[in-house]
């Protein structure tokens, strides 16, 4: 036969797993098995794992800051780049599709052309991602500082994949900040009833010091040296009151849940009435106001209507901008 089928390799590995106590010994066994069963050939069909790919796995397994893990099959690997310090590990998932055809399927990194191209070798992937990760050092630093020192309300589970953070200022106001790949703050705006913070933000943006990191600028702009660590549950209107008695989760006053299956967003203080104490998912409020106005899509993505909690006039945009 021209080569050992992938299913045979897996079966051999599974049969010997009890005797192999480390990834290194398992890889060496696999390497020896392939060389024993593979014959020299000018072509290698797509359902085989070639010896060059296996040699790269063996070589990278000895790297001090790179760790490899098999997925459900030998074709699926996770490469973990250990950056050291306080920065979290970077996970890159890859899939072997055939001879010199390796694809990156996922990574906890912001969108990049590196995530959608096909590579000819593991070495090519590692080289490109090491350079890319190094170029994102300021980005990692700023997001890590925000996550460590601020109360982040969104994303619900912050990762380096998400370039934005929403930081709690008080019970009714959040600060939205997006971090560029170079580590600069962009798209800075307030969310919720934030009249008391608006003037400070406008003045602070004019005096933003790029020699300081983002957290230092936020504390200087808003004169906050101790960020609030807990969000008190607001008293909701009795007609719409629905609180999970087992927890202090804030729920949306339209769908009566704290999370949405289609997105990781959480309820926010979106009503324009400063006295309104209700929280909503942005999509829920947008769809509510849209339905109340007859269902016609609004111009510029902003719909207007009556808040379902306080019955005052309010607006909601399909996005944050």
Q: Rounded mean pLDDT of 297-316?
A: 80
- 36-40, 66-70, 82-86: least confidently modelled range: 36-40
Amino acid 13: pLDDT:
52
Longest dimension (CA), the chain: 78
Q: How many other CB atoms are found less than 10 A from the CB of residue 135?
A: 12
Q: Rounded mean pLDDT of 203-219?
A: 91
Cα(4)–Cα(17) distance, integer angstroms: 18
CATH topology (fold) of 139-222: Ubiquitin Conjugating Enzyme (3.10.110)
Class of domain 233-321 (CATH, top level): alpha beta
Token representation of residue 26: 């398992």
Cα(235)–Cα(119) distance, integer angstroms: 55
Residues paired with residue 76 on neighbouring β-strands, in sequence order: 95
Amino acid 153: pLDDT:
86
Instruction: Kindly report the pTM of this predicted structure.
Output: 0.64
Amino acid 247: pLDDT:
46
Going through the chain in order, the beta strands assigned E by DSSP cover: 66-70, 76-81, 90-98, 101-107, 118-119, 152-154, 164-170, 173-179, 185-192, 302-306, 313-317
Amino acid 256: pLDDT:
83
Per the prediction, the chain carries an average pLDDT of: 78
216-261 pLDDT, tens digit each:
999 999 888 777 765 444 444 434 444 343 345 778 888 888 777 6
Token representation of residue 207: 């005096």
Domain boundaries, the chain: 6-134, 139-222, 233-321
Higher-pLDDT residue of 1, 50: 50
Q: Write phi, then psi, for 41 (nearest 5 degrees).
A: -150, 150
Amino acid 15: pLDDT:
54
Collect contacts of 258-263 with beta carbons under 8 A, ≥24 apart. Answer: 259/156
Q: Rounded mean pLDDT of 16-26?
A: 57
pLDDT at position 34 over 70? no
Higher-pLDDT residue of 264, 273: 273
Token representation of residue 24: 């290194």
CA distance from start to end of the chain: 61
- Cis omega before residue 155 (within 30°)? yes
State the angle between helix axes of 23-37 and 51-60 in degrees (0 to 180), rounded to the nearest 10. 160
Question: What Cα–Cα distance (Å) separates residue 310 from each residue in 69, 236, 237, 272, 276?
Answer: 53, 10, 8, 10, 6
Amino acid 145: pLDDT:
92
């Amino acid at each position: 036969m021209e080569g050992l089928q992938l299913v045979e390799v897996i079966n051999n590995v599974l049969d010997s797993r009890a005797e192999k106590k480390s990834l290194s010994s398992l890889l060496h066994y696999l390497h020896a098995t392939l060389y024993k069963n593979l014959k020299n050939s000018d072509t290698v069909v797509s359902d085989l794992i070639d010896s060059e790919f296996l040699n790269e796995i063996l070589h990278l397994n000895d790297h001090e800051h790179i760790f490899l893990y098999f997925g459900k099959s030998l074709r699926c690997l996770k490469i973990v780049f250990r950056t050291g310090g306080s920065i979290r590990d970077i996970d890159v998932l890859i899939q072997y599709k055939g001879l010199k055809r390796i694809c990156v399927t996922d990574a906890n990194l912001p969108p990049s052309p590196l995530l959608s191209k096909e590579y000819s070798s593991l070495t090519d992937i590692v080289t490109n991602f090491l350079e890319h990760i190094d170029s994102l050092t300021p980005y990692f630093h700023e997001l890590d500082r925000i996550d460590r020192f601020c109360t982040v309300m969104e994303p619900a589970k912050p990762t380096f994949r998400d370039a934005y953070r929403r930081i709690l200022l008080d019970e009714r106001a959040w600060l939205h900040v997006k971090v560029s790949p170079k580590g600069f703050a962009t798209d800075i705006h307030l969310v919720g009833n934030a009249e008391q913070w608006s003037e400070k933000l406008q003045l602070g943006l004019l005096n933003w010091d790029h020699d300081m990191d983002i957290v230092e600028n936020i504390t200087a702009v808003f004169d906050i040296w101790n960020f609030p660590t807990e969000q008190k549950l607001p008293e909701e209107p009795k007609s719409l009151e629905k609180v999970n008695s087992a927890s202090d989760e804030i729920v949306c006053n339209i769908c009566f849940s704290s999370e949405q299956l289609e997105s990781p967003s959480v309820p926010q203080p979106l009503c324009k009435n400063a006295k309104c104490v209700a929280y909503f998912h942005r999509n829920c409020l947008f769809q509510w106001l849209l339905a109340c106005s007859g269902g016609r899509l609004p111009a510029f993505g902003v719909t207007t209507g009556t808040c379902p909690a306080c019955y005052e006039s309010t607006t909601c945009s399909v996005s944050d901008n």
